[in-house]
């Protein structure tokens, strides 16, 4: 086992594979159907394709996206992307990090939060440096969502229906009991909630 003090990161680069993981494409479709433009978005799990950031930077959307990736390879692709296309950088910032080490003091308020990869990545290594739980991540980002804003989950995630206490479905069930949120319904593979207040 690696040194417990080192960061748990994802040593891979996820390309856009719509047949396997359509959540980012469905999200951009949802934004368009809802007429969501000029909004602030927190996006959990950018993929090496950076689809959400690139699409939201287009003139017809102009959403401001803050994304997070735990993959050094995906972050390197982001750097190459924005060097070649500074127009994307104006609307899309990506940070390399561990979602379980979020610091609420460093986050602004958001209109929309995506938690598509909830429960997919946390493990023993995260425990070693006292990372947040998935429920704490959901709570923190809900607190950072403006009243009337949206929080979305991906029902096609491999962690959504896991047996045991760590499935996203169970975390969502606990989360919605304590947070001022209302289930809006499904859009394709996405489970949509709205923050009340």
Q: Which is more confidently placed, 10 or 104?
A: 104
CA–CA gap between residue 197 and residue 178 (Å, rounded): 14
CA–CA gap between residue 63 and residue 83 (Å, rounded): 20
Domain definitions of the chain by residue range: 23-195
Token couple for 146: 């403006």
CB contact at 8 A, 64 and 40? yes
Q: Which helix (H) or strand (E) holds 129?
A: none
CA–CA gap between residue 141 and residue 41 (Å, rounded): 11
First to last CA, the chain: 46
CA–CA gap between residue 22 and residue 1 (Å, rounded): 33
Instruction: Return the half-sphere exposure (C-beta side, CA atoms, 13 A cut-off) of residue 188.
Output: 15
Give 190's strand partners.
154, 187
> Is pLDDT at 3 greater than 60 in this prediction?
no
Question: pLDDT tens digit string along 131-187?
Answer: 999 999 999 999 999 999 999 999 999 999 987 667 999 999 999 999 999 999 999
Question: pLDDT tens digit string along 28-57?
Answer: 999 999 999 999 999 999 999 999 999 999
Residue 81: φ, ψ to 5°: -60, -50
> Is pLDDT at 190 greater than 70 in this prediction?
yes
CA–CA gap between residue 102 and residue 1 (Å, rounded): 24
Token couple for 21: 């993981």
Which pLDDT score, from 0 to 100, does residue 2 have?
44
Which pLDDT score, from 0 to 100, does residue 163 have?
73
Give 195's strand partners.
181
pLDDT grade for 19, boundaries at 50, 70 and 90: confident
Q: Which fold has domain 23-195?
A: Rossmann fold (3.40.50)
Please state the pTM of the whole predicted model: 0.94
- Coil, strand, or helix at residue 159? coil
User: Whose structure tokens read 């304590």?
Assistant: 178
Do you know the residue count of the chain? 197
Which pLDDT score, from 0 to 100, does residue 1 have?
38
Token couple for 105: 């003091």
Cα radius of gyration rounded to whole Å, the chain? 16
């Amino acid at each position: 086992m690696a040194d417990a003090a080192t960061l748990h990161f994802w040593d891979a680069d996820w390309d856009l594979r719509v047949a396997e993981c359509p959540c980012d494409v469905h999200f951009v479709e949802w934004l368009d159907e809802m007429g969501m433009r000029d909004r602030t978005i927190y996006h959990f799990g950018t993929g090496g394709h950076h689809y959400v950031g690139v699409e939201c930077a287009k003139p017809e959307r102009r959403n401001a996206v803050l994304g997070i990736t735990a993959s050094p390879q995906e972050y390197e692709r982001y750097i190459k992307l924005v060097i070649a296309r500074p127009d994307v950088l104006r609307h899309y910032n990506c940070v390399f990090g561990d979602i379980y080490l979020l610091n609420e003091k460093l986050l602004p308020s958001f209109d929309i939060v995506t938690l598509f990869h909830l429960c997919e990545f946390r493990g023993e290594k995260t425990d070693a440096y006292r990372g947040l739980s998935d429920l704490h991540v959901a709570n923190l980002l809900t607190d950072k969502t403006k009243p009337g804003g949206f929080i979305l989950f991906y029902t096609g995630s491999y962690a959504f229906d896991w047996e045991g206490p760590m499935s996203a479905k169970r975390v969502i069930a606990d989360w919605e009991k304590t947070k001022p949120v209302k289930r809006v319904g499904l859009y394709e593979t996405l489970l949509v909630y709205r923050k009340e207040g």
